Amino acid sequence: MKRHKQLWGKVASLDNLKEAAVDALRGKRGKRAGAIFFQRWETEVVRLARELEDGSYRPHYFPSIDQGLLREKIARVVGDRRVIELVDRILESYVDDFLLFGENASELRRLGARCREFLDAERLEIHPDKYRLIPSAHGVDFCGYVVRADGRVRVRNSNARRFRKRYERMRWEVAQGRCEIEDLTATVRAWIAHAEHAQSWRLRLSVLGR
């Protein structure tokens, strides 16, 4: 297996960090934390670059991941000392939510067992409260969306209602001089970025087109 060296310059470059920030924000701008970060993401990227360079960067720790196993896997293909040192300070956050659709319950139980076997080999486990077998005729509530087995995705009704109320309130606050138009614009852009992952053209027109 080929090991890649001299990666630090690429990993810690401003261009790479900006691209990573844009990717990380994708689908999260509708959340408050994502919207706040979006308003100052360029400043945050510069700060991150500085912390990476001086070694002060300290990310959030996820103890459920076997850090030793993850480091071992990364070290097989990464031969840059500074990148490995960064890995020692970082525990990768996985996209750990997923759905399995099947024709019947027995097929889904079989697929679920295979997923457990794979995760066991990686020293990971599925949270028992989040491992559920449910009918999907009316869609499945998933990460702020309602997902159907045929691939259709719509924004969760409660999400749309909350945004509509927030949008109307912020429009009023802008008119009263209590809120900056830039804040309203950032909030709208964040929600649109979230809604665009679903079949939501009519919803967006209904909420924003008035």
User: How far is residue 153's CA from residue 157's CA, in Å, rounded to a whole number?
Assistant: 12
List phi, psi (to 5°) of 156.
-60, 135
Quick one: 155 exposed, middle or buried, by C-beta within 10 A (0-12, 13-18, 19+)?
buried
User: How far is residue 63's CA from residue 82's CA, in Å, rounded to a whole number?
Assistant: 23
Is there a contact between 140 and 134 (Cβ–Cβ < 8 Å)?
A: yes
Is there a contact between 57 and 51 (Cβ–Cβ < 8 Å)?
A: yes
For the entire predicted model, the pTM comes to 0.49
Give the pLDDT score at 172. 92
Q: What is the pLDDT of residues 162-186, one digit of tens each?
A: 889 888 988 898 899 887 887 788 7
Quick one: 171 exposed, middle or buried, by C-beta within 10 A (0-12, 13-18, 19+)?
middle
Q: Which residue matches tokens 């002060």?
A: 56
Give the pLDDT score at 13. 83
94 band by pLDDT with thresholds 50, 70 and 90: very low
- Alpha-helix residue ranges (DSSP H) falling in the chain: 8-11, 14-25, 32-39, 41-54, 67-75, 81-89, 105-121, 157-175, 181-195, 201-208
Q: What is the pLDDT of residues 12-44, one digit of tens each?
A: 788 888 887 777 766 665 566 566 666 676 777
Q: Which two tokens stand for residue 52?
A: 């990476």
